Amino acid sequence: MANRTVQFEIKRQASPDGPAVWERFELEWRPGMNVISAMMEIAANPVTADGRPTTPITYDSNCLEEICGSCAMRINGKARMACSSLVDNLEQPIRLEPLSKFPLVRDLQVDRSVLFKNLMRVKAWVPVDGTYDLGSGPRVYPQQQEVNYPLSNCISCTCCMEVCPQFNEQTGFVGAATIAQVRLFNNHPTGKVLKEDRLRALAGDGGIQECGYAQNCVKACPKQIPLTNAIADVGRDVIGQKVKDWLRG
């Protein structure tokens, strides 16, 4: 019996302004194989299904445990993490494409630094006084921790931004991940001292009002973060802040 194989179709693009081409690969099937191990196999033997030598695939990856957020890409049309995409659960040929909403670098690698800029814009941090020993932190009850912890699990993979119809150049929308971080830091006993700054940062163009409630984000999130709840909560607070600012003149 012939060895079982796995078929891949991978979208290649050598540079941001180069042409995109599809390459087909046929690899030997192995138990437990995921999309990353397939690309590792291609790197060790860079030959297409029709026997042409090619280059190893360029893609982002690091932890391979779905916690670093690096390896997001479109797999059979769906934005997801390559490491946790097991070959046995995917329809073949498995089609790999880069995320489409971010500047392409090469092959499956894109530039997602916009998310980190957004996090800076909303001051997604707790403004501690300093790192010297100032005693213990504020009391946080388990009920509160259980709200914050899931929000803090965001791995910055940007899947929620990729699938959002409103996340594009026209709107300049910050996207669900950033809004969820605003919810997180506004809920922290010390973090909330910057609450007004954060809400104002989300009040203008590209802010929370761009959300069209498509709810794609919450379905795409590999960490099951309650993104739509966070958007609803923060949306209410942004309106409250606007009213307050208007009354204050």
Partner 1 sequence: MATPRIIVVGGGLAGLAAVIKIAEAGGSVDLFSIVPVKRSHSVCAQGGINAAKNLKGEGDTTWQHFDDTIYGGDFLANQTPVKAMCEAAPAIIDLLDRMGVPFNRTPEGLLDFRRFGGTLYNRTAFAGATTGQQLLYALDEQVRRYEAEGKVKKYEGWEFLSAIIDSKGVARGITALDLRSMELRAFAADAIILATGGIGAIFGKSTNSVVCTGSAQSAVFQQGVYYANGEFIQVHPTSIPGEDKLRLMSESARGEGGRVWVPRKAGDNRPAKQIPESERFYFLEEWYPKYGNLVPRDVATRAIHKVVYELGLGLDGQAMVYLDLTHIDRETLDRKLGGILEIYEKFVGVDPHVEPMKIFPGMHYTMGGLWVDFDQMTSVPGIFAAGECEYQYHGANRLGANSLVSCIFGGFHAGPNAMQYAKSLPAVEGDGGAAAELARQAEINKKLMNNEGSENPFRLWRELGQTMTEHATVIRQNKGLEKADAKIVELLDRFKRVNLSDKSQWANTSFAFARQLKNMLELSRTITQGAILRDESRGAHYKPDYPERNDEKFLKTTKASFTGTCEGPRFEYEDVDTQYITPRARRYDAAK
Residue numbers 33-72 binding partner 1 by CB under 8 A: 33-34, 36-37, 40, 43-46, 53-56, 58, 60-70
Site for partner 1 in 170-229 (CB under 8 A): 185, 188, 190-191
In the complex, least distance from residue 29 CB atom to partner 1, rounded to whole angstroms: 10
Using the minimum distance from each CB to partner 1, give the nearer residue, 222 or 235: 222
Sheet holding 20-28, edge to edge: 20-28, 5-13, 94-97, 72-75, 78-81
Site for partner 1 in 134-173 (CB under 8 A): 134-142, 145-146, 148-149, 152-153, 155-156
In the complex, least distance from residue 243 CB atom to partner 1, rounded to whole angstroms: 28
Residues in contact with partner 1, counted by CB under 8 A, come to a total of 72
In the complex, least distance from residue 38 CB atom to partner 1, rounded to whole angstroms: 9
Site for partner 1 in 17-36 (CB under 8 A): 30-34, 36
Using the minimum distance from each CB to partner 1, give the nearer residue, 113 or 168: 113
Site for partner 1 in 116-135 (CB under 8 A): 116, 119-120, 123-128, 130-131, 133-135
